Chain A
Amino acid sequence: MKKLFVVLGFIAAILSAVLAVTPLFKIAYFPSVAALAFGLAALYLSRRKQLPRKSVHLVLLLTLMALTVTTYKAIFNTVEVSDTKDLIQKEDASKQEAIETLEDIEIDE
């Protein structure tokens, strides 16, 4: 039973760590909560049966790191648009083309 919890905990912790570094970091909370639950269950079983706890500690450490990164990003991450040079050029070119096109259109205001 402990092994199962450790394996599930590892999977969830790795998933949360991966998600934490992507732009979709907010959804990392879901696997983090699952990893914490599996890790704590495995820790409880290890203590009760006097089993080694190294792998359990690793799961919890990984989860804690993922949670820290996710929370830090949720609080301090600011969104910004960069690389708009092409868009600005496209806008300017489009306006010039449009003015030329509008000369051929009948406008009755």
Chain B
Amino acid sequence: MFQKLIALIILFPVLGISQNTAIGTNEKLVFSASYNISGLPTEIAQVTMETSKVNTSSSTLMRLKCSAATYSSFDSYFKIRDLYESYVSPKSLTPYLYKRDINEGTYNKFEQYKFNHKSRHVERTMRKKKRSGDIEEKKTVTISDNTRDIVSTIYHIRNFDFQNANPGAVQKFSFLFDNQPMTINVKYLSKETLNTDIGRKECYKMAISLNKSDILKGNNDNLLWLTADANKVPVYAKFKIAVGSGELNIKSASGLKN
């Protein structure tokens, strides 16, 4: 459940666009994730989204890093130290390598996708720690033209041109998660002004849903707010899952591109 919750926290956005105009290579966003217990939000973990430049011998890529760590008060009950990474083209946010290393209580899992966009294949490696011994699996998956990983999908939405979108417009995006192709629907709802820890912001409000998945519950209960400026920073998210509901609140934002 917590894997789904953390994935969900890290999951939200996606819409289409080819050029990256919103995300710089030195950006850091810090969020606080809360879980509603009997209607009272309880802060459980810190989620950090960071970008940086990565140089290989032949190219310069952007590293999109999302990490989640439970607050120290929860560490002795259920410690989470998750790391999600995607290495993408800084211009188009096309992913080339995706890594997921999750450590949640006694649950450990590593996953890696190597994207080959020419042959439309993803080479997947998965390692899991079990009492009976470690498991390693390697598979090749065929993907469609615009399939991404979950992390690059999150960042991708921020390049959408909301100014020319009509409220009610729905966009679908494909991504690979847990070796399963999934489709996320993003519905642009309206503009709203929110008070956040980084100030009072005018935001684009969106409803998120997943096709053929039972992770997200409710109709229009999973919402995301992005600032209505050139950076389109995610400032607030609400989600509903099988075992309750939660929120993601921005705490700080630095190194923004615009």
Contacts and interface: CB of A to CB of B under 8 A. Distances in A.
Interface of A: 22-24, 26-27, 29-30, 77, 79-84, 86-87, 90-91, 94-95, 98-99, 101-109
Contacts of B77: 22-23
B57 interface: yes
Q: Tell me the dominant secondary structure on chain A's binding face.
A: loop
Contact of A106 (B67, B72, B99, B116): B116
A108 B83 contact: no
B97 interface: yes
Contacts of A106: 116, 118
Interface of B: 32, 37-38, 40, 42-46, 54-59, 61, 63, 65, 67, 69-75, 77, 81, 83, 85, 87, 89, 91-92, 96-97, 99, 101, 112, 114-118
A83 B72 contact: yes
B38 A99 contact: no
Contacts of B115: 105
Given A81-B72, A98-B97, A106-B116, 7 more contacts: A23-B71, A24-B42, A80-B72, A90-B83, A95-B54, A104-B114, A107-B96
A95 B55 CA distance: 11
Contact of B73 (A23, A98, A103, A104): A23
Contacts of B96: 102, 105, 107
Nearest to B67: A87
Contacts of A90: 81, 83, 101
A105 B101 contact: no
A23 B42 contact: yes
A104 B117 CA distance: 14
Contacts of A86: 81
16 contacts: A24-B42, A26-B37, A27-B37, A81-B72, A83-B72, A84-B81, A87-B69, A91-B83, A98-B63, A101-B114, A102-B54, A102-B61, A103-B56, A105-B97, A108-B117, A109-B92
Contacts of A81: 45-46, 69-72
B54 A98 contact: yes
